[in-house]
Structure 1
Amino acid sequence: MQNWKDLYIEIAEKIDNGLEAIRWVDLWHNQVYFLEEEHPFPTPAVFLAFRGRQFKDLGDKVQDVSLQMDVFLFYETFKDTYLKGVNQETALEFLDLLDGLNALLHGSGGKNYSSMRRIGLAPVDSGGSGNLYQLVYECTLMDFSAQKVMEEGIIEGFEVEKLRDKENDFFIP
């Protein structure tokens, strides 16, 4: 992983490409608690939050990181979830999405992380008409974000010449 942006984009794209029913992927900042004030988003929506659990220095500004990733699934519905309810089948589609997210993420790895595994699942009070669940995952990554970024390029404007020391018979390239 070069930076947190790369990790977020990789996981967001994995969710967006892997679960057609998900209509919004974003970073978590408590959006569901401020639906009237927030930029509107379609549902079902997934929000991602990252928390470092353990950091081990490997030298040269590189760390081995045990990362916790919270995945919030928000499914806004006014439909009935009770057993044999008229709209129960439609209302419980969010449970299929919970299974789909877990199938997509648990055991996965990518360019920026490895060894993703689920370590928690819980409903969260949304204070409104939506179902909000938090799936908690743990993964491992190598964090290179503190290192200087080097880019390949062409250096122009100077020449290299080879020198020969004839007295000592050696060559300086």
Structure 2
Amino acid sequence: MNITVRRADMNDLEIIVEIDLLNEGYTSNDSKLTPEEVIEHSKKIHGFIVDEDKGVLIVEDQDRGTRIGYIMYRISNRDKPYPWKTAFSELDRNLFQEDGRFLEIFNLWVDSKYRRQGLATLLKKSIECEAKSYGVNLIYTHTEEENGHVIELNRKLGYQEVRRGTIWDQVVRVSLIKQV
């Protein structure tokens, strides 16, 4: 298998939106989005492709010409007020660099046919290079408490649990960080 990692471009938008709407790996309310909500969701994902403080890294199987995984992120700031509930302000300020910036992972997905082959690890290691390129030294991620395999992967890669609890709904999430 000939694997490459690259930044997403506009040619990837439709597939990223489609995969993101599958809700794999996290609790959803199972309600179908209206066409208008799908358009709004697509605009949100579009931002991850074009905004300079956001990004999506794609893993491709070059032999098959197939996208088989991605990781979506943005540069966030612990000290910035957000219009939605976050866990950042609950974390020790000393964990963050002086300007409060860090890389926040939004979504990690690997095609079910390609799982357990090191691709999530490859994406997580690639995101460390992205963090350094933005001049940030901390990566933040969270996952639902029930995703034990994701928590274990993060721990194997050097992430430390810093919080466990609800954030914006009643689902318990585990927040993890890694200094890079």
What is the TM-score with the length of structure 2 in the denominator? Answer: 0.31
Whose relative contact order is higher, 1 or 2, with alpha carbons under 8 Å and at least 6 apart? 1
Q: Structure 1 or 2: larger strand share?
A: 1
Q: Which has the larger radius of gyration?
A: 1
